[in-house]
Structure 1
């Protein structure tokens, strides 16, 4: 897979700060290390790692973006002392541009975009294609997202509906779902996004996919019409609503939900909060960790409520979780190195490979693999779907790109690729269940 470009998104120590203070400041590092070194790091000090992206490169190596302290990154250099690991096998590059300055600059761009596209909502009813609406010119806050989707419900009442209250967040906000359906007696598909608050690009691709499906039905596209002759599709566009709002109002790079754990510690990683119980919490349980799984599987209202909703769906055939970034289509397992048992392991690989090919759409942006091929992750959504819902196929899309902060110009092209991937996922199901 091609190397990701360096993106400047890092906090640096203040000039004149003490060495100890400097070593406590998180910074963005780009590393390329042998996979054995990366695996050992995840196992021994994984709770210290905020892994922004990871991908296989140069044979048996891993290239990763890590948001960590100097003292944590120093631990990657320790294996150099071993005769089996040469110094030049471990490459570490520190990004050097101030995070706050960069984020402030991007905030100004977002504000200008919002101002320049005022009136987009009024243009929705006359649109030939919803994906051409100026809604997709900019990154949109949750109130704008729901206004857009709710208007699509009003404009398409026979095929698009809203489930008002799937569950509530820790802070008491209502999380809705949306359903595309052209008839009765259909099998179900499910897609969610923004389980990790900062992954705006995953969210926008979910909204774009909804609009694309509706455009296909309204314009009588044969592929889309045939798809919905067999399936109803349910979407939870913003699962981690509290956390996502926090990325707009306070901390742009916030990942977890907003559960208050102590006076200074907040958040559970919702994508470590699922079962199976036998694997829950095996990655560590330090509350301050970015991957803190909570006190028990489904301890969080966002996961427990949406899980109950998913289990209530009639004849569920598959589920998709949208994330960013790395350019990957990930399949179970993440909680163990083993492939899924026969025949499901081979079936999942075929499904994932074909979905990645369709998502690429002539590019080489996406690679198909199991989640654990990079590193072990416990309590993830896709593992729970497959393991607890009778081998139901599930994949995670890790969006293309080299940062959580993407320019507005990437919204549509990336959204189109994810839409093509979702369509292919549905096409693969007959073979999967054959």
Structure 2
């Protein structure tokens, strides 16, 4: 197959492409995804790894979704300049494909236009059924905490590589006693907008139900403190609004697309560098030079070490999965039985809301093998028994460009699953992972 020369040529090719069209993206001009297609295809198991690397690591493409137990297919976005060549390569390799999304920009224009944020400037009436720019989210968080200061407060939990503060909301009925903390975060991957919108809605919903005298929510706030980190990757999220909607990583170092780190590959776990991760800086799953090399992962993890965690939930999209450790190995956690039992209850509760099916399983088995993930780190290093990663809607029809009309249905579904975990914590005799008890 002389039409492809794998190996070092692939990296050189990526930098050549970067030189030809990447530097233009250094300005604040918003990138258009007009003509970008998302292809769905399965790679034969006997295909040489060099060709697989070429298909997935080229600067031409952006992998939206990797194969899993649920689907053997990749979802890959290809730029218009090279999509014909890319399709021809797939054809020569004997790989059948489908055009899953014919024009990504059409979805962006129709379903997640930034213009919607110009309609209302008052953070007191920010619409939680819309996607919102970071400045508006921050204003809303500030107002929300001030108007509910008996149960809500804002806390800086980290800083970004660009020096921005990372803010979280703490919700709970004040007590002189130390209470266990139920942690939830979102937007560690910048383009996964549905996750941040979901978390903001849940935070607001809990306070509203507390004000209305809901007995279960009142118990939740009495017995636990709730931490909501709606925008972890602040630099990246801002960049998705100003410049590139599909940006995933942090914004540290580098140049053009060859910058930033996948923050959810940057935590200190065993088998670091194994699984769906890369040491190639231009890759969307670049893990960084070492564990916690990034300010975002390093500073927030340091904060997490200072609080008594009872649960750790990180929201992602898309797939409709309820995941639990491990990702870095196929061996099960010593807490596997309890994690599986709780996950099964959670996906059942989700289904009862809108009849939407979520799958549950370990990261390695249901999603894909991966090291450096936050939930594995929390489970192992912080001894958090109930550590979950949730892949919200959808299963690929819209992917990362989920229309805002799905925000409320998605948030309501997740809320019911989250309450399952909270009930388990209140009934549990022990919240420390079994693995930690052996050390």
TM-score grouping bracket, smaller chain normalisation: 0.7 to 0.9
Say whether the 8 Å CA contact 2:273–2:371 is kept in structure 1. Answer: yes
Q: Aligned pair in 2 of structure 1 residues 433, 47: CA closer, same or farther (>3 Å)?
A: farther
Structure 1 residue 154, shift from structure 2 partner: 1.1
Task: List per-residue Cα deviations over 1:375-421 (Å, max 9, x = no partner).
Answer: 21110111111121225321111111231112221111111111222
Structure 1 residue 356, shift from structure 2 partner: 1.8
Structure 1 residue 106, shift from structure 2 partner: 4.6
What SS does structure 2 have at the residue aligned with 1:146?
Answer: helix
Q: Does 1:205 align with 2:194?
A: no
CA RMSD of aligned residues (A): 3.0
What SS does structure 1 have at the residue aligned with 2:327?
Answer: coil
The match for 2:151 among 138, 144, 159 is 159
The match for 2:136 among 130, 140, 144 is 144
What SS does structure 2 have at the residue aligned with 1:318?
Answer: strand
Q: Aligned pair in 2 of structure 1 residues 44, 224: CA closer, same or farther (>3 Å)?
A: same
Q: Aligned pair in 2 of structure 1 residues 75, 102: CA closer, same or farther (>3 Å)?
A: same
Say whether the 8 Å CA contact 2:180–2:309 is kept in structure 1. Answer: yes
Task: List per-residue Cα deviations over 1:60-96 (Å, max 9, x = no partner).
Answer: x52442235767777877886xxxxxxxxx6521246
Q: For 1:168-247, what aligned pairs fall within 5 Å after superposition?
A: 168-184=159-175, 185-247=178-240
Question: Normalized against structure 1, the TM-score is what?
Answer: 0.79
Q: Aligned pair in 2 of structure 1 residues 177, 264: CA closer, same or farther (>3 Å)?
A: closer
Which stretch has the larger CA shift, 222-231 or 196-205? 222-231
Task: List per-residue Cα deviations over 1:22-46 (Å, max 9, x = no partner).
Answer: xxx9742123567x57997998666
Say whether the 8 Å CA contact 2:350–2:416 is kept in structure 1. Answer: yes
Structure 1 residue 232, shift from structure 2 partner: 0.5
Q: Determine the C-alpha separation between the residues in 1 that align with 2:244 and 2:380.
A: 34
Structure 1 residue 261, shift from structure 2 partner: 2.2
Q: Aligned pair in 2 of structure 1 residues 37, 203: CA closer, same or farther (>3 Å)?
A: farther
Task: Name the counterpart of 1:31.
Answer: 41
What SS does structure 2 have at the residue aligned with 1:312?
Answer: coil
Structure 1 residue 178, shift from structure 2 partner: 1.1
Task: Name the counterpart of 2:108.
Answer: 103
Task: Name the counterpart of 2:298.
Answer: 304
Say whether the 8 Å CA contact 1:32–1:92 is kept in structure 2. Answer: yes
Q: Aligned pair in 2 of structure 1 residues 98, 347: CA closer, same or farther (>3 Å)?
A: same
Task: Name the counterpart of 2:281.
Answer: 287
Structure 1 residue 138, shift from structure 2 partner: 2.0
Task: Name the counterpart of 1:7.
Answer: none
Say whether the 8 Å CA contact 1:120–1:135 is kept in structure 2. Answer: no
Say whether the 8 Å CA contact 1:50–1:66 is kept in structure 2. Answer: yes
What SS does structure 1 have at the residue aligned with 2:250?
Answer: coil
Return 5+ residue gaps in structure 1 as ranges: 1-20, 81-89, 124-133
Structure 1 residue 433, shift from structure 2 partner: 3.4
Task: Name the counterpart of 2:16.
Answer: none
Q: Determine the C-alpha separation between the residues in 2 that align with 1:281 and 1:56.
A: 16
- The total of aligned residue pairs comes to 382
Structure 1 residue 202, shift from structure 2 partner: 0.6
Which stretch has the larger CA shift, 356-365 or 194-203? 356-365
Q: Does 1:377 align with 2:373?
A: no
Q: For 1:317-356, what aligned pairs fall within 5 Å after superposition?
A: 317-340=310-333, 342=334, 344-356=335-347
Q: Aligned pair in 2 of structure 1 residues 154, 96: CA closer, same or farther (>3 Å)?
A: closer
Q: Aligned pair in 2 of structure 1 residues 137, 393: CA closer, same or farther (>3 Å)?
A: closer
Structure 1 residue 149, shift from structure 2 partner: 1.5
Say whether the 8 Å CA contact 2:274–2:328 is kept in structure 1. Answer: no
Return 5+ residue gaps in structure 2 as ranges: 1-20, 22-34, 432-439
Q: Does 1:53 align with 2:62?
A: no
What SS does structure 2 have at the residue aligned with 1:29?
Answer: strand
The match for 1:392 among 375, 385, 389 is 385
Q: Aligned pair in 2 of structure 1 residues 372, 47: CA closer, same or farther (>3 Å)?
A: farther
Q: Determine the C-alpha separation between the residues in 2 that align with 1:41 and 1:392.
A: 39
